[in-house]
Structure 1
């Protein structure tokens, strides 16, 4: 995931590990990325989010302009959720353990649901890393 981000990044982009936890990264001191991996080969991919994971994401969101959650779906692709999209599938009422599930049929977008979702979010694999670069551009302009 980070290799794909770095390969397509303009020169001079900085990526460092967040102090909030081992799955969070800070890009150019402005944008956060929280990464979860599933080694499962085929759909569906389920990602568990403990209250500790959600606290780490919340901490990134209070410190940075924008935060993204990257869900690595085996070798199939990457779901890139904005913090707002993430909160649509897992609301602010944090429980000890919650889940986000991504499913995808061949040549279709990912369908993302969660233990708190009321609707399905559609996300294209191509949105990663485009969403992050757009956020970095907005942060530089501000």
Structure 2
């Protein structure tokens, strides 16, 4: 399969929205429409956030990766948080997620980032199989207190 990766642009919104909704359903969550709209505006309009899309030969959005670039206390350069990664179920196990992660590595490298990191659900064993080949699992646990 011939997949191309590029930054998402305003005219990709409709395809992105369909995959975004499928991603939220996968994680059994819902967001208010204004959060989704603001997320899209941030991904396409801020220098510290970016959305990468994987497209097939016909121009169908097969998957996306959202990244956030931020400073950190353990290095002099920024790091890259891979916040969201999703592949359309019709394109799974065809290398789309791998290509997206590799594109994230390249984008982070171009920005001079010192690392790329992400989290996943403990029960997402399929994704972990790929992640274990592309990165090192740190063993850290995420704790969270929602303030809003």
Q: TM-score, normalised by structure 1?
A: 0.30
Q: TM-score, normalised by structure 2?
A: 0.29
- State the structure with more CA Rg: 2
Greater helix share, structure number:
2
